Amino acid sequence: QVQLVESGGGLVQAGGSLRLSCAASRRTLTMGWFRQAPGKEREFLASTSWSGGSTTYADSVKGRFTISRDNAKNTVYLQMNSLKPEDTAVYYCAASENIGYSDSVRFRYGYAYWGQGTQVTVSS
């Protein structure tokens, strides 16, 4: 079992930045970030392999969001820049039990553990 705790959400103006953190209770393999806005499906944002050497981004956030990790702290981050009102959602981190890095990182089924989420609200 892995417990994941997100932090760093809040209210920010359009064009601003936030950095989300996800602390894991133990070492993890592939990690990902998703978000879910009211009335919408949970959406993949970004993922990183255990080493950080492989990363994947959704087109909607490529160039604005950056995923990184600090394995010494069992923590993964999501730096979010140039935020837009449409980025408003609950943001979730997720941990995979899969060894190796594949296209499954883009889908919810690729992850075994989820955090409780942190709210991000971007005002116009």
- Which tens digit of pLDDT belongs to each residue from 48-62? 999 999 999 999 999
pLDDT of residue 45: 98
pLDDT of residue 103: 86
pLDDT of residue 42: 97
pLDDT tens across 53-108, in order?
999 999 999 999 999 999 999 999 999 999 999 999 999 999 998 888 888 899 99
How many CA atoms lie within 13 Å of 1's alpha carbon, on the beta-carbon side? 2
Query: Environment class of residue 65 by beta-carbon count within 10 Å: exposed (0-12), middle (13-18) or buried (19+)?
Result: buried
CA-to-CA distance for 32 and 42, rounded, in angstroms? Answer: 12
